[in-house]
Amino acid sequence: MIQKKIKEIRDSINKDIELVAVSKTKSKKEILEAYNAGQKVFGENKIQEMTVKHEELPKDIKWHMVGHVQSNKIKYMAPYVELVHGIDSLKSVKILNKEAKKNNRVIKCLLQLKISEEFTKFGLSKIEIESILNSINILGLKNINVAGIMTIGSFTENMNVVIKEFEKSKKIFDELKITFPNLKILSMGMSNDYKMAIKHGSNMIRVGSLIFGKRI
């Protein structure tokens, strides 16, 4: 079932779109099923859970942190994490840079754009994103690579609201790229709306329940 879902999603999207299989709360057995279908990129939203899974599962899995990052736990994932999606403060940027340096790594991250007024607590405005990117340059932080932005659409049945948010995100992403050409990734779209997100310019989708079934 999991293998079939992975294949279905892969077949329905372009090759240059990265599928992140969001495996939070799911067992090692379920993750291995997806892995055996060729899926190598997995997303988690709790650092401790991800770290245990990283230790116990095949080492060629690329682990993405898709949840809100608590700065005091960054050190646990710094040795291995591939991409941190939800960075939303200069403080977290600095800690990520420091922990990356300790591990002799450059860690890739995305800055979280706050697009939905009512529904999301976390995230940054366009101006705040610009300010953080400028600070990184001024401070000369060398162990962090901001590779793009991520956004979470509103939890609503009203697809028109979500489409508007996706359009707005893409517009801001394109505007930011003019000044900051290193921004390559637009992480946008989940199980319910990934097709729409891709239509509006997403190149990285985070899909959980559609692959693994509902979370309890």
Binding site for ligand PLP (CB under 6 A): 22, 24, 45, 66-67, 152, 190-191, 206-210
Q: CB of residue 13 vs ligand PLP: minimum separation in angstroms?
A: 14
Q: How far apart are CA 7 and CA 162, in angstroms?
A: 26
Asked if 110 and 83 count as a contact pair (C-beta separation under 8 A), the reply is: yes
In this complex, which beta carbon is closest to ligand PLP, that of residue 26 or of residue 141? 26
Q: Which residues have CB under 8 Å from 105's CB, separation 6+?
A: 78, 79, 143
Phi, psi angle pair for 131, to nearest 5°: -65, -40
User: Cβ 142 to ligand PLP, closest distance in Å?
Assistant: 27
Rounded Cα distance, 82 and 42, in Å: 10
Residue 150 belongs to what H/E stretch?
strand 144-151
User: In whole angstroms, how close is the CB of 181 to ligand PLP at the nearest point?
Assistant: 26
Min CB(214)–ligand PLP separation in Å: 8
Rounded Cα gap, residues 113 and 165, in angstroms: 11
Closer CB to ligand PLP, 92 or 141, in the complex: 92
For residue 164, the minimal CB distance to ligand PLP (Å) is: 19
CB closer to ligand PLP out of 24 and 177: 24
Q: How many CB atoms sit inside 10 A of residue 108's CB?
A: 20
To ligand PLP, the closest distance from the beta carbon of 139 in angstroms equals 27
Nearer to ligand PLP, 66 or 69 (CB): 66
Q: Which is nearer to ligand PLP, 141 or 202 (CB)?
A: 202
Residue nearest to ligand PLP (CB): 208
Give the pairing type, strands 144-151 and 62-68.
Answer: unpaired
- Residue 132 or 152: the one with the smaller Cβ distance to ligand PLP is 152
The full length of the chain comes to: 216
What single-letter DSSP state applies at residue 66? E
